[in-house]
Amino acid sequence: MEPGEVRRGPPSEAGACPLPSRSLGTHHPEAMLLGLTLGLLWSATCWAEQMYGVGGGTYFSTSSDCDITGVRVAVDLIGLVKSIQVRCGDSWGRVFGASGGTTQEFLLQRGEHINTIFGSHRVFIRSLLISTDWGRYATFGRESGNTFLAGGGGKVLTGICGQHKILGLSGLCFRWDYPPEEEEEETTAPPPTSTECK
């Protein structure tokens, strides 16, 4: 970002959504309205995922092309989802959210994918039920408040984004895509041996 350059809205995968580089003449009410409208339009374009929860706070995002192989979620004693962490392949990514709480993890088997997430929220995310295309699931927290259901349609989870405050996750959004084609493992049979009798 250049000195004096202003950016608004949550960051996209390529960086934050830029505003025009020249002044809109904000001392005129019409220009202020135009600037506000353009800012809102750019924010909506960058934030294409559905946000579950009230949101607010610091924005975060995992990689969008991740082969998710596990999820860690921390929940505190009063039932707030404090943080979330995603494993891509064999590596755990950053922990997003607030510190504290008891952490539980849900590891996927090879070829297994997360296909739906059911959750609840009030001011903060209260519960997550993560299920896979193999019929396995894991629950984190206790259902309380408004509920949501994300996923389905044959797509699988490829990324998580959201917002967090000092007490925990205030909103979550999910990226879905069709599962990658599984490469068939080639089995190599040993070369035939001759069994002729002489």
Each residue's pLDDT expressed in tens, for the chain with a length of 198 residues: 444 444 444 444 444 444 444 444 445 555 545 554 444 433 333 345 799 999 999 999 998 778 999 999 999 999 999 999 999 999 999 999 999 999 999 999 999 999 999 999 999 999 999 999 999 999 999 999 999 999 989 999 999 999 999 999 999 999 999 987 765 444 344 444 444 444
d(CA 46, CA 112): 30
* Beta carbons within 8 Å of 175's beta carbon, 6+ residues apart: 49, 64, 157, 158, 159, 160, 161
Cβ contact 77:167 at 8 Å: no
Taking the complete model, does pTM exceed 0.85, yes or no?
no
Domains of the chain: 51-177 (2.100.10.30)
Cα–Cα distances in angstroms (integers) from residue 198 to residues 1, 135, 170, 192, in the given order: 81, 57, 80, 18
Cβ contact 53:159 at 8 Å: no
